[in-house]
Structure 1
């Protein structure tokens, strides 16, 4: 018995020793991946081991990667679209720090090897567990025809399945049945609360300043939170640390200019990018309109400094503003300011840290003057944000993200003042939002990859104001919470999991579940959104919105991954959805609480999304289609029955194509079709004090007319030298002159007052554009 015990003990010790020895013979290979020409850190680059293709990792959003390899000789294969594949021979007998430089593909041939929508690698759709995610290639966005010829990330993502435009020319969008405010829009980690210029016809994102943009439709990893429907994560360029560059463009109504270069070569760099419209300059040529204002500007700034090989600092900022005015009678301006101070630190070969201090501010001001009367309206939302994020490459099978986030919100509600209203003070509402999260990207087998995690979110309503409590719009209680006190804290756990199973070399299936919560809410009466829409936070009456989404997907590639087909179905259940009660009155001349005009209920959204892509050859592009339904059910609205949400569109189709004729000429075109938005048309009318009052029955039971449009553009790139490159883009928006309905209003028919006529307003028929782009 004793002998057997000794044998077992010896065997166990030998096993432990052998495991220890093997562990000692496993080393880390880590570093960053960057563009050799300009020093930009590259996101999402695939790093593979030639001798064992199952060992592969993807660089994180800061360009850091880490592999674990037994002792031996290996060949690393590094690949990224738009760059030459790179091979690196290494001998592993100790931990190695290896930075990998990639060289951009020379444009000897203008054959397009990728389209605007691209991935980390050609078969990423078959290998990644992440669902509902698309990455935009910023370089190729400029080839697509867009309104006024201004290349635009926000307009491009609206051509993807599950993402729907909020209106003609609008940069606002809804994702899988979510409202505009249910999209988290980040610029260098800073939230952007109004991502549009000129009432939505332009977005706040100047593409010349951007490095990367990706959108995740609901199934986001645990490091993202605070919104129900999607995350649009946009990152600015770091700036060229090798050489100075100037690039820009001159268009019919706007121009832009970017300057970047090294502060200290290979150690620090900067980029400054600005854009401005000049429609107001044309107004000054007329005596009737010379005092009017109509313009926007934005400015992107970023600088970085490499402290040493393991630590780097980044400072980035965005400043943008719109100004509209009609002489001295009316003026309105609104804008965003963001700033991010970021510290990247490679703690060791497996652990990467990112610490960010973030500031974000959005505000608007409205002023009206008439004779001796004046009226002013203003509002603001301001955030101070601390984020600590870690990436731990625990092994070749596990990439773990964990960290915390803390945001201090200050929301100043819409406040009116002037001679025509009874001015009253509105105290800023303050709140404190915190989160802890952990997420693991787990390669369970060669065929199965699982991404799972959880987020713990806490939202505390802080004192300093009087808070009312309502039930079905009726006041039930009112209490003053002292400054510095916590009135209420909402706690929610948000589990998330997605999985990908590789059926064979050309196809895979995916599935996922996620829960998201949202504590900031935008109150709007329009589908496209206005600058003066009001943000509010969760309170004693307004509870956090919650969404549970399940989704299933199938992907199939053809012809050596040059063709791609992706299909997803989803069902989303939503709690604590917000809508205005029937006949809601939002006024500013009394101390009315806007929460008294709100009702709360549930929602649901479900649909099918299809996208087929051709990714190489002279002809590239994609076709996307969405079939969906979005509904709300709120007691007190529509007889307590389900009704269409404003953003409900049954069908949504986009066809995008680019053809490269030769080295100098290319042409792009797109066609879009969608069912009209759900709206409420009057079902009757009556006279009151000589005025016609229209009656409405069911909420959003009618439809705007179907929307469709075709755009074309051509790009000419003449021969250039190494220092200077120029190109011309010619385009036409709405090629066949479709008069799509922007609004429909109703009025008494002057020819027959007993009847009613509908009046349609259309914005754009034919809009030509010419833009000259340059770089040197």
Structure 2
């Protein structure tokens, strides 16, 4: 670490001497809403000198004293040119307008990122998902969805219909860090994965990092999905929403004090339960979800700004009084931005996050509940330093308190069911990091960083166990509450390079080590709301991954067509899986049912994307392999992980027929999930038992479908906008397998039948969207 810090200092202090410099800094905002603009470009005209606003709209640009023409631009906005005489350091804020704000339409509209930004950016495996660009992609039930769109990107795989998880480059569903205004979201799905928890109307920006993320992110092995909520319009009140077949949503935003404070409230609810009440048979059943996003921001002064944001969502499924399950997330973020001076920016955050579920079962005189939760209290401090135009430095620290109750059964008196619980855990996760984006030359850029992470596992006051390889208890120790059980420390270096060897072409290389201290364990092929979370402990070590990636990037047709090709190899340590025949339901000694080993994931990702013109879209393809090797499973040999998927293809096309009408199509194909099926059977006393041999040795049938969509802009005036979206999910009625079960043939018990369950065939949807401006 000492050597790494010395290298940091050497590179950062590579500046020009012999001339007098001055710094131009400030913020860039949206003229219409007053919100800060992320990723806006501030550039010196006819030169390569420039800067980009950070996630809070702040920029810093250091130049030799003199006169300049400064250009400020971002996607969907008109170009601003400003003549300045930079004799001393000064603060200059800008407001970007759209062509709807200006009568002069001869201004230039350019992209948020540089036209060749995908070629020059040193980071690999990074995708920006703009909520405005996904509204025309057909999805199930007609609800535009960032998570569903993200799963069409190479290297990202959905876990299948009716599942709540997604996989990135061979990692498990729990190995993705999902952040909403910096708060972790532990289950990002509604209705078992058919909707995501993220209401697109409330989202400002989303970035996906596929394993080579900068060092300010940590805690997961595979990816980071960083989502920013809208801040709320500081200029005028807006009301918008949508009405669909099974859900509706409403969003309200506006100023509290014009140009100083604003708010945003966005809510969504399904009403399938209302239709159930029309039937006497199902009127007591429950089937719905709701979610609420809220945000308040207040400008304390020219250098200080305060944000308060939160999310609350809940799902409820129930069969009368017999069975019920509900689960949900709650998050809260209090954030303070402070401009220290023209080269230093500070962000201080206090974050709360909670995920819990409850299963209620009743039968006769027996009633019992199964509950589980994970709760975080999180403090984060980050400084951004702009020493010169070649370097952008981030320095920060993070402290998280994890309180986990993996599972507990409570029953009524006289039920005969004893109270059981998987031991709750309490741990403190600390991290300190430093990173730098360094422009070595005009054609060679580098992003590098170092992260130190530490997990402190604390006793809960109960007896603590260690286990033998066969799962039996090895030792039992009585620890006092909050006594230190175990401490793990890991160093995580990160490095990415980009070399533009020809105009419009570059080669990139990256290496990253990531560690993970909280783990989700499941025996199912796809994640469910009731999967159990555990912390690193006496028996569970932190998971570690080392990923290397190499990519070739090329732009065609004046940057209108982008081609990216990436290969990666990921080595994994301390991977968890259940032993054969594990007892995972309400097991008070669940850690004894787990085995640990190594893993590997490698693959090829290709993406061809057209970003402009009447016809836009992309083709994405992934060829990959994901394997595990754990003593006690599959005779200690390599076996494919449940998230392994050999081929994954997505084709997305959007065509704008006229300014009012557009059509879209989506085709997906992927190899069936790896599953464990019985290889034989035997009978004892007339009872049939299935024999299972190789772990994940079989495949579900291949999956494919076609979705179609039409969007019509009904009205667009200064005060009101409305549109209609019609979509067809699974247009050719492919009967894709959700599950396959086995049973004896009624006429011939010696024969075994495989029974396939299909969730969806053709699903039409229609959604009416509106907005009062």
**Same fold (TM > 0.5):** yes
1:169 positional shift: 5.1
The equivalent position to 1:59 in structure 2, one of 53, 63, 78, is 53
CA distance 1:114–1:420, shift in 2 (3 Å): farther
The residue aligned with 2:467 is 470
The residue aligned with 1:595 is 591
Q: Tell me if the contact between 1:114 and 1:620 (Cα under 8 Å) persists in the aligned partners.
A: no
Secondary structure of residue in 2 paired with 1:717: strand
1: CA distance between counterparts of 2:54 and 2:206? Answer: 14
2: CA distance between counterparts of 1:330 and 1:30? Answer: 59
Structure-to-structure mapping, 1:243-642, within 5 angstroms: 243-418=236-411, 419-424=415-420, 428-464=424-460, 465-472=462-469, 473-588=471-586, 592-642=588-638
Structure 1 unpaired stretches of 5+: 1-17
2: CA distance between counterparts of 1:154 and 1:171? Answer: 10
Secondary structure of residue in 1 paired with 2:201: helix
The equivalent position to 2:21 in structure 1, one of 26, 35, 40, is 26
Q: Tell me if the contact between 2:121 and 2:498 (Cα under 8 Å) persists in the aligned partners.
A: yes
Q: Tell me if the contact between 1:114 and 1:615 (Cα under 8 Å) persists in the aligned partners.
A: no
Deviations 1:380-433 (A, max 9, x none): 100000000111011100000110000011001200122252214555310000
RMSD after superposition: 1.8
1:204 positional shift: 0.4
The equivalent position to 2:64 in structure 1, one of 70, 73, 98, is 70
Please identify, of 420-429 and 91-100, the stretch whose mean Cα deviation from structure 2 is larger: 420-429
1:479 positional shift: 1.7
The equivalent position to 2:93 in structure 1, one of 91, 99, 112, is 99
1:471 positional shift: 3.5
Q: Tell me if the contact between 1:629 and 1:649 (Cα under 8 Å) persists in the aligned partners.
A: yes
Q: Tell me if the contact between 1:79 and 1:121 (Cα under 8 Å) persists in the aligned partners.
A: no
2: CA distance between counterparts of 1:666 and 1:170? Answer: 30
CA distance 1:714–1:76, shift in 2 (3 Å): same
2: CA distance between counterparts of 1:660 and 1:593? Answer: 58
The residue aligned with 1:768 is 764
1: CA distance between counterparts of 2:428 and 2:318? Answer: 36
Please identify, of 33-42 and 681-690, the stretch whose mean Cα deviation from structure 2 is larger: 681-690
Secondary structure of residue in 1 paired with 2:148: helix
Q: Tell me if the contact between 1:741 and 1:760 (Cα under 8 Å) persists in the aligned partners.
A: yes
2: CA distance between counterparts of 1:420 and 1:772? Answer: 53
1:727 positional shift: 0.3
CA distance 1:420–1:279, shift in 2 (3 Å): farther
CA distance 1:658–1:386, shift in 2 (3 Å): same
1:719 positional shift: 3.4
1: CA distance between counterparts of 2:303 and 2:416? Answer: 61
2: CA distance between counterparts of 1:169 and 1:65? Answer: 43
The residue aligned with 2:226 is 233
The residue aligned with 2:183 is 190
Please identify, of 315-324 and 170-179, the stretch whose mean Cα deviation from structure 2 is larger: 170-179
Q: Tell me if the contact between 2:164 and 2:529 (Cα under 8 Å) persists in the aligned partners.
A: no
Deviations 1:720-760 (A, max 9, x none): 32101100000100000000000011111112210111000
1:166 matched to 2:163? The reply is no
Structure 2 unpaired stretches of 5+: 1-14
Q: Tell me if the contact between 2:354 and 2:375 (Cα under 8 Å) persists in the aligned partners.
A: yes
1: CA distance between counterparts of 2:463 and 2:218? Answer: 28
The residue aligned with 1:201 is 194
Structure-to-structure mapping, 1:86-235, within 5 angstroms: 86-106=80-100, 120-168=113-161, 170-235=163-228
Secondary structure of residue in 2 paired with 1:65: strand
2: CA distance between counterparts of 1:471 and 1:58? Answer: 55
2: CA distance between counterparts of 1:291 and 1:213? Answer: 39
Q: Tell me if the contact between 2:176 and 2:223 (Cα under 8 Å) persists in the aligned partners.
A: yes
Q: Tell me if the contact between 2:242 and 2:770 (Cα under 8 Å) persists in the aligned partners.
A: yes
2: CA distance between counterparts of 1:313 and 1:423? Answer: 45
1:692 matched to 2:688? The reply is yes
Q: Tell me if the contact between 1:81 and 1:121 (Cα under 8 Å) persists in the aligned partners.
A: no
1:460 positional shift: 0.2
TM-score, normalized by length of structure 1? 0.95
Secondary structure of residue in 1 paired with 2:28: strand
1: CA distance between counterparts of 2:109 and 2:425? Answer: 48
Q: How many residues align structurally?
A: 750
The residue aligned with 1:759 is 755
The residue aligned with 2:658 is 662
Secondary structure of residue in 1 paired with 2:714: coil
The residue aligned with 2:12 is none
Secondary structure of residue in 2 paired with 1:494: strand
1: CA distance between counterparts of 2:521 and 2:71? Answer: 50
2: CA distance between counterparts of 1:708 and 1:28? Answer: 55
1: CA distance between counterparts of 2:668 and 2:326? Answer: 32
Q: Tell me if the contact between 1:254 and 1:276 (Cα under 8 Å) persists in the aligned partners.
A: yes
Please identify, of 568-577 and 320-329, the stretch whose mean Cα deviation from structure 2 is larger: 320-329
Please identify, of 734-743 and 475-484, the stretch whose mean Cα deviation from structure 2 is larger: 475-484
TM-score, normalized by length of structure 2? 0.95
1: CA distance between counterparts of 2:611 and 2:238? Answer: 30
Secondary structure of residue in 2 paired with 1:585: coil
1: CA distance between counterparts of 2:392 and 2:570? Answer: 28
1:96 positional shift: 1.2
Q: Tell me if the contact between 2:429 and 2:453 (Cα under 8 Å) persists in the aligned partners.
A: yes
Please identify, of 284-293 and 83-92, the stretch whose mean Cα deviation from structure 2 is larger: 83-92
1:21 positional shift: 6.5
1: CA distance between counterparts of 2:172 and 2:335? Answer: 31
Deviations 1:167-224 (A, max 9, x none): 1254521000000000000000000001111111111000000000110000000000
CA distance 1:617–1:425, shift in 2 (3 Å): closer
CA distance 1:114–1:147, shift in 2 (3 Å): farther
1: CA distance between counterparts of 2:767 and 2:109? Answer: 23
